[in-house]
Amino acid sequence: MIRLCVDGDFKPAGRLVPTPDQAHYLVRVMRLALDQTLLVFNGRQGEWRARLAEITKRGCVLILEAQVRAQAQAPDLDLIIALVKRPRLETIVEKAAELGARRVRLALTERTNADRANVSRLTVIALEAAEQTGRLDVPEILEPERLMRILEGWDGSRSLMFCDEAGDAAAALDALAPASAGPWAVLIGPEGGFSPAERAAIRAAPGAVPVSLGPRILRADTAAISALTLWQSTLGDWQGLEVARAAGQVTSQDAAG
């Protein structure tokens, strides 16, 4: 069934007006007919079944019928990625959304090989990936920021999985095994690696956990996908109810229900 992220307040029999692009997609591309249904979400009120009620020259109108899934949040996981060239960066954002990252923070490093990013375009990519994967929220894409500034504000309330290409860190699964679930960030460097000063600052950051992604040198997109996969399989929602309970996201009453 078609899924769309549509802005608006969700309530039974409520009206939603998709954007012109969404209306074009529904009516012209997918050829949805009047009274056919789709699934919609807004990142706050779960997933609802909606009916195509009107088709106009300017767009269309949906009528909300019933909630089919309650709202659930992705794990509190940031991906901090040094800017890389556009095609790889778009892939990274798409896969981060598919793998459950809640935010993507773009970082400028000493060896960054790109100096700008189209955050609006990346947000659309994240939204489309969220629609495709069945998640109920859309990752936030933050404007590029200097890595050293990010580290200056790092207070240890969020653990930092530092994918260290230098080769002297423990294997990721071994390093993460004793760690606790909760707010985390995964840090991936540029194609040229971190400078010695950046590497020292990262390792000195409160809550930093250096990890190795193996003996081979990985491109940034491969490293990001690998690191997010390893984190999710160890501490994320791939672990199911027990990890969610440990993170305080599920109460014993929820589990009993």
Q: Is residue 55 part of a domain?
A: yes
Distance CA(150)–CA(135), nearest Å, equals: 28
First to last CA, the chain: 28
Phi, psi of 244 (to 5 degrees): -60, -40
Q: What is the per-residue pLDDT across 39-59, written as a single tens digit (0 to 9) for each?
A: 999 999 999 999 999 999 889
Spell 187-204 as b/e; 16+ CB within 10 A means b. bbbbbebbeeebbebbbe
Q: Is residue 254 part of a domain?
A: no
Total tally of structural domains belonging to the chain: 2
If we measure between CA atoms, which residue out of 82, 130, 67, 104 comes closest to residue 185? 104
Neighbouring residues of 44: CB distance < 8 A, sequence distance ≥ 6: 10, 71
From the number of C-beta atoms within 10 Å of its C-beta (0-12, 13-18, 19+), residue 143 rates as exposed
**102: CATH:** 3.40.1280.10
Residue 244 in this model has a pLDDT that exceeds 70:
no
Q: Is residue 255 part of a domain?
A: no
Average of pLDDT values for 129-156?
96
The residue type at 242:
E
For position 240, what pLDDT does the model report?
A: 60
- The proportion of the chain whose per-residue pLDDT surpasses 90, expressed as a percent, equals 83
In 3-state terms the chain splits into helix, strand, coil percentages (rounded to 5) of 35, 25, 40
Q: pLDDT grade, residue 73 (50/70/90)?
A: confident
Cα 15-45-12 angle, rounded to 5 deg = 35
For position 167, what pLDDT does the model report?
A: 66
For residue 191, what are the domain limits?
Answer: 77-243
Residues 83 and 65 in one domain: no
Q: Is residue 108 part of a domain?
A: yes
Distance CA(51)–CA(130), nearest Å, equals: 21
Residues 211 and 134 in one domain: yes
**50: CATH:** 2.40.240.20
Report the DSSP pairing between strands 47-55 and 60-69: antiparallel
For position 191, what pLDDT does the model report?
A: 85
Q: What is the per-residue pLDDT across 213-224, written as a single tens digit (0 to 9) for each?
A: 999 989 999 999
Residue with tokens 């109108």: 61
Average of pLDDT values for 90-113?
96
Show the tokens assigned to 156: 């240890």
Q: What is the dihedral of CA 235, 199, 92, 229, to 10 degrees?
A: -20
Residue 250 in this model has a pLDDT that exceeds 80:
no
Residue 22 in this model has a pLDDT that exceeds 60:
yes
Residue with tokens 């309970």: 245
- Give yes or no for a contact between 79 and 121, defined as CB atoms under 8 angstroms apart: no
If we measure between CA atoms, which residue out of 149, 142, 50 comes closest to residue 105? 142
- Give yes or no for a contact between 68 and 48, defined as CB atoms under 8 angstroms apart: yes
Q: How many CB atoms lie within 10 A of CB 35?
A: 9
pTM over 0.85: yes
Average of pLDDT values for 53-69?
96
Residues 44 and 89 in one domain: no
Average of pLDDT values for 187-193?
92
Q: Is residue 137 part of a domain?
A: yes
Domain boundary among 47, 69, 91: 69
Domain boundary among 29, 46, 69: 69
